[in-house]
Amino acid sequence: MARIHPTAIVDRNALLDESVEVGAYSIIGPNVRIGARTRIGPHVVIDGHTTIGCDNNFFQFCSIGGTPQDKKYAGEPTRLVIGDRNTIREFCTFNLGTAQDEGITSLGNDNLILAYVHLAHDCRVGNHTIFSNNATLAGHVHVGDWAILSGFAAVHQFCKIGPHAFIGMNTSLTQDVPPFVLASGHPAAAHGVNLEGLKRRGFTREQIGAIRNAYKTIYKSGLTLEEAKAALARNEAVAGPELVPHLRLIRSFLDTASRGIVR
């Protein structure tokens, strides 16, 4: 049996691994599935069609799997999917997806989500991200692996944030942020490459140099975005094998940017 505090309310149809811990006064709805060794702190509400993986830690007063804050939502059985080894701190709110998108809000693995973070409907967050206090995603936002959002960063609906990007404190983001780029401001602007993050993750000097050159091609060369993409493709064609994946990641992101990129 899962370790459930006597004051907690867990619906008989919820499926909890026997190693799950549920704290005092928490409420678990009927369509919730929770994997091994996940800890649900006190006063947490988990509802909706929500699937949670293993080794997660939810701190007190989180609201997980609530209905979308979207007037079009009409009670469809949309979902929230959370992976493994995530830390979700106090007062976080994660909403279900909507039928107007793919019907899923998702959070990957090994993410650190600090207090008061909001993941709106249909957001897709990758792995190893950090969301500082009060970072807020509107609906349909995609965040790549290893991205960092500083405190009070606010992201407009349908924006994309590339892998290894860094979003500064109090940033108002209304356009896409390419991989590896440091963006901040109100409105947001690009301010270079996330060098410190890349060094911490073991990128080599050659890889960082190639990424910096790609940044200069996009932001400092005076080229249009289409011209910059063509230049990046030429550079990728002659790059060494250890550089190609990072250059291709940047170019592929630019091909799918739907709101324009921060400039």
Instruction: Kindly name the residue from 121, 128, 140, 246 that is annotated as catalytic.
Output: 121
Instruction: Kindly name the residue from 139, 144, 162, 197 that is annotated as catalytic.
Output: 139
* C-alpha to C-alpha distance for 50 and 30, rounded to whole angstroms: 10
Question: Is 192 within 8 Å of 215 (Cβ atoms)?
Answer: yes
Give 62's DSSP letter.
-
Beta carbons within 8 Å of 43's beta carbon, 6+ residues apart: 23, 24, 25, 26, 60, 61
**Is 122 tagged catalytic?**
yes
Beta carbons within 8 Å of 212's beta carbon, 6+ residues apart: 193
Q: Is 183 helix (H, G, I), strand (E, B) or coil?
A: strand
- Nearest to 143, CA basis, from 169, 104, 116, 106: 106
Instruction: Kindly name the residue from 122, 142, 144, 162 that is annotated as catalytic.
Output: 122
In angstroms, what CA-CA distances link 183 with 18, 63, 161, 261? Answer: 44, 29, 10, 10
Question: Is 56 within 8 Å of 109 (Cβ atoms)?
Answer: no
**Is 110 tagged catalytic?**
no
Report, as residue numbers or ranges, the catalytic residues: 121-122, 139
